[in-house]
Structure 1
């Protein structure tokens, strides 16, 4: 997953987070979005596909931890920002729900892939 404004990748590794001591989650990569295996996440859907308003989890491929929030907030330099961390499966704060986004109709995706391959 890549941040649109900075092109940095959502990243994790075997380091403790600064506030809660869970697994640290940060950003990583160069200006082209190139990083390493610490940037790889797997989407876990509750059903056959990821649909709006349904919960999902994101599991870090290297460490097997789930993207979540610790419930703690930073004071400085980013006052009020929640600490995002890697958690064990089933932990409170490790489920996400889509509220906004871009819908790509399955037939549009197929058309784009066919066009790209030609």
Structure 2
């Protein structure tokens, strides 16, 4: 199942961004933080690819970049500077094991049935 999202980093509220540019360590597609206060461009748009019909807790998902078609992943390499030990986050041209992500924290929202008159229910994790 595909859903479109813009993701923001927790620390500086910049958008998860990518474009056709090689990453510094592995030469894969660069992924960075971009924009201020939610402002950005189409390089900030990602599709959420669920392993099921719905995004449920503990299920694997993939993030696919809309402009380039790459999948968010970890290159397995880490930086020495500016932040020693920070892992390189990149875009891979095809889905592979390193592009699977699992929900660990967040907000779970139960969707309302189309025929139901009940309000949305949610559980905070």
Q: Above 0.5 in TM-score? A: yes
Q: What corresponds to 1:96 in structure 2?
A: 101
- 8 A Cα contact 2:73 2:89, kept in partner: yes
- Please provide the CA RMSD for this pair: 1.6
For residues 5 and 65 of structure 1, what CA distance do their matches in structure 2 show?
A: 24
Structure 2 gap ranges (5+): 1-6, 113-117, 121-125
Unaligned residue ranges in structure 1 (runs of 5+): 113-118
- Give a deviation string over 1:58-112, Cα, whole Å, max 9, x none: 00000000000000011111111110000022323111011111222335xx858
Pick the structure with more strand per residue.
2
The TM-score with structure 1 as length reference comes to 0.85
For 1:21, the equivalent position in structure 2 comes to: 27
SS in 2 for 1:103: strand
TM-score, normalised relative to structure 2? 0.81
